[in-house]
A and B are shown apart, each in its own frame.
Chain A
Amino acid sequence: MNFALQAAEARAWLRPVFDFVRKLSTPPSVLIVDEDLGFLGWLGDLFSEAGYRALPALSCRQALALIRQYDLDVDVLAVDEGLPGVSGMIGLLQRARRPLKIVAIRSRTSDYVADIPAHATIERPSGWEPISRPLWLKKVLAVLKQAEARAAV
């Protein structure tokens, strides 16, 4: 048996250990999927401040491409519940990771409520509503806490 083969076997055997150490040393990640670029950036910025790695995507298809391309581990999914392909994406992510915490992004002006297994909901601000960073950071932290608690049940 040559040295390269032995090294490859050792790497494969140690992979779970490496993954575990990597997981401990990296902050949790949130995948944010929304067509509204401004709100996507806003949420990403707030989640980053809350200690999360924020992964942005403008559609479900693109979110899945990003995850496959980089083999990313997603702890929290924040998704606009009205996006096409949202149920399929949740199904795929849940097969890869359980419990996946799901936060539904909802529009106040829309009556549409999707049938997705959301653990918490966050409402997009209306066009005329002033937005305050400290208040929104509190809101994001509360939503994360709620999602964590409900996903654990």
Chain B
Amino acid sequence: MSTAPAAARIARLLESRRSDQRAHRRYPIVLDIEYKLFNKGRVERSGSGRTVDISSGGTCFSTDDVLPVDGLIEVVVKWPFLLEGVCPLTLVMRGRIVRRDGQRTAIQAKQHEFRTAGGRGARVVTAGI
């Protein structure tokens, strides 16, 4: 029996693992955030913190609050730049809390988008996922 198909399967598996790692690689970026925790469609709690890392799959942030694993959350990351010098640009991530480790909370984002908010009103400029 030839081992070629098995070797090809392993190579494919390794390749998919490699591309998965790249797609969800976490980058150490520290930015201010504000979050809203939802329960049955209503804002249960809100607070602030700082990102520890950001990836395409979500973000990990630190906060003094204890947030429940599996809770639905919206995280607004403040991008360090103002459009036209006045209009803030934010990254909005919505998803679920998947892990909590001390003051660190990790969320898996189901949706993310860049938004502008300011004099011209809130607008989605770029949307992702």
Q: Which A positions have Cβ atoms within 8 angstroms of B?
A: 26, 35-39, 41-42, 44-45, 48, 53-59, 62-63, 65-66, 69-70, 72, 107, 109, 124-128, 131, 133
Contacts and interface: CB of A to CB of B under 8 A. Distances in A.
Contacts of B54: 37-38, 41-42
Interface residues of B, number: 34
Interface secondary structure of B, over-half rule:
strand
Contacts, number: 94
B29 A125 contact: no
Contacts of A48: 80-81
Contacts of B128: 35, 37, 58
B61 to A, nearest CB: 13
Interface secondary structure of A, over-half rule:
mixed
A63 B127 CA distance: 11
B14 to A, nearest CB: 11
Contact of B29 (A42, A55, A107, A124): A42
B45 interface: no
B114 A36 contact: no
Interface stretch (B4-12, B17-25, B63-71): B17-25
The 8 closest A-B pairs by CB, nearest first: A127-B21, A62-B126, A42-B27, A38-B55, A38-B27, A58-B128, A37-B56, A41-B54
Contact of A65 (B22, B81, B126): B126
B1 interface: no
Nearest to A63: B126
A150 B95 CA distance: 43
B58 to A, nearest CB: 9
B125 A54 contact: no
Given A58-B126, A62-B126, 9 more contacts: A38-B53, A39-B27, A55-B89, A56-B79, A56-B89, A59-B126, A107-B22, A128-B21, A133-B28
A48 B80 CA distance: 8
B101 interface: no
Given A36-B56, A48-B80, A56 B126 contact: yes
A41 B29 contact: yes
Contact of B83 (A45, A70, A133): A70
B114 to A, nearest CB: 6
B26 interface: yes
A56 B29 contact: no
B85 interface: yes
A55 B20 CA distance: 26
Nearest to A27: B81
A58 B81 contact: no
Interface string B41-65: 0000000000001111000000000
